[in-house]
Each structure stands twice: as structure tokens, then as C-alpha cells.
Amino acid sequence: MPCPSRRLVYFSLEHLTPVPTLQPGDYPLHEFHGFPQTNHILSLGLRDTNDPRTLKGNGNDFVIVQTIRGSRKVTPATFTSFARTLKPDILFALPDIPYTQPPYSQKRVTKSIERTQRWLTNTLISQHTAGADTKVIPAIFGHLLGGAAHDARSAFSAGLLEPFDSKTAPSLPHLNNLDEALDGYVLDLIPIRLSLGEFGPGVAPPHPGSESSSTGTPDLPLNIPNRSQYTTLLLSSLDPLPSSKPRLITGVTAPHDILHHIVRTGIDLFDSAWVQHAADWGIALDFTFPATKGSTATKAIGHNLYDEKYALDFSRFANDLKGATELKDDGVLEDPQLLRTCPCAACSPSLVDPAAVTVDQRLPGSEPSSVEFSGSKTHAPPFTRAYLHHLLHTHEMSAHTLLALHNLSVLDLFFVGIRDVLGEDETIGDRFIAEVERFKEIYDEEGWYGPNGILEAGRTAWRNVDLARGKGRFKRERTAGGQAQQAAEVADTEAT
């Protein structure tokens, strides 16, 4: 369901079936998924940028992807053809990012740079040739490559600025170099973490629903990232390029990441995959920016609602966000701290007076019925943590839906607060830096990450509940028990 606050949505081609290409109209991707073209910006790339699974190596003219039907080869021509048919608003140019096990040789990194720039050049030539017959030409965002090598990242960006050679220039007379064709830049943290060796062999994806494709090896580590190391690598890519174009980063895993990269890296756009993963694992986010006035004690970033301590907790999802029923008639919060109102369907469920609904009935086969609402919209009290705890343990899909709506709203309000503070000086000033430091002091980052953190606790609880679900439960439990016993025996042997 389209969410009003999610105005920029990313689709990975490896997760799409060919069905959307059969949708008629000028905006097939918009119309197939129900996103009004005037309200939402849809972007299209090849891979899930938050999937760290290692795959077979790419070739000179194809990229390996993991689809619902297994690994497949996708050529640049196929990717361009799908993009031209689906007509996204933003196209993430096809990159040759290694998803094999590191380390990567200098030759492999060089190939990655050359292939990506060659594929982008061919896409631009194809687009320019078909331009007269194309109604919708998407903006192009380019992935900045180079892995964990500073020199390679700088070289890739420098290559975007190099003038076209005599062979390419006649085919692209309206451009002087590749960078002029790019409307924005994409920086991916997962490939950097992979190239630094942070993941084990055949690492499974960091989200539920994909465990069946796991090889049983370790998942995405949920440790506090080495942000200083990432920042220097990202700046190696960004420093040669103009600062006027949007910079989008993927792979962040906490609000602390976002604030760091705004201040240190100059990032403009962030993906929201991590908050949706948190919803999958039963976690309700709970933070605001600026941090709530009068806060002194350290607070958790979220709540693992699988935890038994929430079984009889009848409070709303978030401590630092109010529900709509807590507003006065004039729209002012009852609370003197003036907490923000979370507009999600869990914190501010909408109620419609049946007397205010007019249904226009039509005969079968005629125009569809229309429903009109009049009068003011009222709200019910927020859903409670105890109710969500119950839904999670009874495998109700609505639990994850409500948590996703809530977490996305929390993130949206977080960015509203960031824009409000930045808007005072139109730059990163002393007040913004002070609010960032206060946020870091109030919200517990270590309690979010780590082996005993909220993320790992939620993920473990999700697996344990999922293990006991449906047919084959006892076999899965025996298998899991055997693996645990084997791991314990190995640990005892190593200790000895």
C-alpha cells in the first residue's frame, strides 16, 4: 500500500517478475504498484542494495542476481530494456559490484571500474538514440565504486569527469563526460563492508523471509560500524565530484549512522530498509530529533515487542511520540513537553463516522461505486505493546504491517526534525552539532547493536517463534537442537 510519507521508493529488478512490463500506460511501474505519479518518485535498480549474500562472479557482459527462481545472469541490454519499458522516475545505473568473497585483486577492482563506466556509456548512447521515441526519460543515479580502496574510489570518480574520447564523443554530442549525464550519486555501504571482510562465507541476507536460501552461515553482523573508516572511503569518491548533486547512501542501520553521515559525509538521502527490517523482527522504534526536552536518562532506540516483559504493557509503541487522541481540539498536545504526534495507523488509528459516508451504488458492469467522506476524521486510542506482543506470537501478519507503518513514520518525523534544525541556518551550524551530540548522549547506541542488543534479540525471537510455526515444526526443532549441540561440542573442543 502506498504510504504518503514515502515519496521516494526503490525497486530492485531482481525482486520483480516480468508482470509489471505488461502494464499499459506512460508510467507502468507507478500504475502497477498503485503509486500516483504526481505523489511518488519511483526508482529502479538491479540488486537489493541491502543484501550481502555472496554470489558467483559477474562477467564482462552480465551481472549475477538472486531472483525468486535462483541465480540469473542479466546483461546490460536486458536491464536497459526493462528500464525503458517500466519507465521509472530514477534509474540506478548498472554497476559491476563484486559480491564474491574478498579480498579483491587490483585487477578485479580495475575491471569493475571499466565495466561500470562502459555499461553507463552504452546506456546513454542507447537512450540518446531512442530519445525521440521515448516519452519518459528517467534521471540517472550512478553508483560510486572502488570497494575499500581509496585510490580506486578516487580513480572511478575521476573517470566520470574525463572528457569522452574521439570514438564516443560523436555518439553523445550533448555531453562532455559521464558525470554530466548523472543526476545523483549512490554510495553503498554493504559492498564496502563485504570488501572489508566483515561477513562470513555465504552470508545470509539481513531480513526475514530469506532464511530458506541461507547456507546456515552467520548473518549480517550487528556491530557498531566503523564510521570513520567508511567516511574516509566515501569522501574519496565524493571529493572529486560536484557537491550540487544529490548523494544517496544505502546500508545504514541506526539513526546515529544518519546523523554521522549528514555531518561528516554530506549525505542528502538515506534508505529506510533498516527500519523495515526492525519491523520484521518485532521492533517498534522510539526516538525523535531533536531529542525530547528534559531528557536525562539514557533511552533505548526501540522496543523488542517479542519480549515477555511487554505481554501486559498497555502503553503506546513509543514513549517519545504521542497518539492523535492526546491532542487538544486546537491541535496542541496535552503534554507540556510538546512531543510530536506519530500519524501512523498504530499510534493514531482513524475512525470514520458511518453517518458521514455516502456510497454511490451502480448497477453491475457499470462504473465502479464511489465512496465519499464528509465531516472531520476522528481517531481511536493507539494500539498497545501488549496487543502487538500477542499478534507477533500468534503469527499475525498485521503485526509486521503495523510496525512497518510506525517505524517509517518515526523515521519520517526524525527527518522532519533534522530539516527544521538545519533550516534555521541553511547549513550545519552550531545548534545542529549540539543537537546531534545530545541525541548521541540520550539514545543508547550500544544497546541497539551487539550480541545482546535490541536488534539481535528481536531477530533471535523472530526465528524462535517462526521455528514453531506450521507443519514440520518438530523436525525443524530437532535440526536446530542438533546444530546447537554440535556448535557447543566444537566450542568445548576448541577450549580444551
Considering the domain architecture, whether residues 128 and 206 belong to the same structural domain is answered as: yes
153 lies in the same domain as 219: yes
**How does pLDDT run across 206-257, given as a tens digit for each residue?**
443 343 333 333 355 567 778 888 999 999 999 999 999 999 999 999 999 9
The domain total for the chain is: 2
Domain annotation covers residue 263: yes
Please give the pLDDT value at position 471.
54
Question: Domain with 242 in it: what CATH number?
Answer: 3.20.20
Please check whether residues 309 and 182 belong to one and the same domain.
no
145 and 229 in a single domain? The answer is: yes
Q: Is residue 99 part of a domain?
A: yes
Percent above pLDDT 70 for the chain: 78
CB 435 within 8 A of CB 421: yes
Identify the pLDDT of residue 452: 82
- Based on the domain organization, do 183 and 34 belong to the same domain? yes
The residue range of the domain holding 370 is 283-467
Question: Within a domain: residue 1?
Answer: no
Q: How far apart are CA 237 and CA 44, in angstroms?
A: 22
Question: Quick one: 159 and 229 in the same domain?
Answer: yes
Least confident range of 63-77, 128-142, 169-183, 211-225: 211-225
- 496 has pLDDT over 50: no
**173 has pLDDT over 50:** yes
The answer on 297 and 250 residing in a single domain is: no
The pLDDT value given to residue 418: 93
456, 390: one domain? yes
- pLDDT-above-90 percentage for the chain: 50
Cell of 44: 529502479
Mean per-residue pLDDT, 37-51:
90
- Give the mean model confidence (pLDDT) for residues 142-158: 95
Same domain, 235 and 310: no
Is residue 357 pLDDT above 90, yes or no?
A: no
Task: Using the predicted structure, report yes or no on whether residue 366 has a pLDDT greater than 60.
Answer: no
Q: Do 308 and 262 sit in the same domain of this protein?
A: no
Mean local confidence (pLDDT), 65-92: 91
Least confident of 204-208, 241-245, 265-269, 321-325: 204-208
Domain co-membership, 157 together with 182: yes
Residue 355 is predicted with a pLDDT of 55
What was the pLDDT predicted at 201? 55
Within a domain: residue 342?
yes
Please say which residue of 240, 271, 302 terminates a domain.
271
72 or 127, which is more confident?
Answer: 72
pLDDT in the model for residue 325: 82
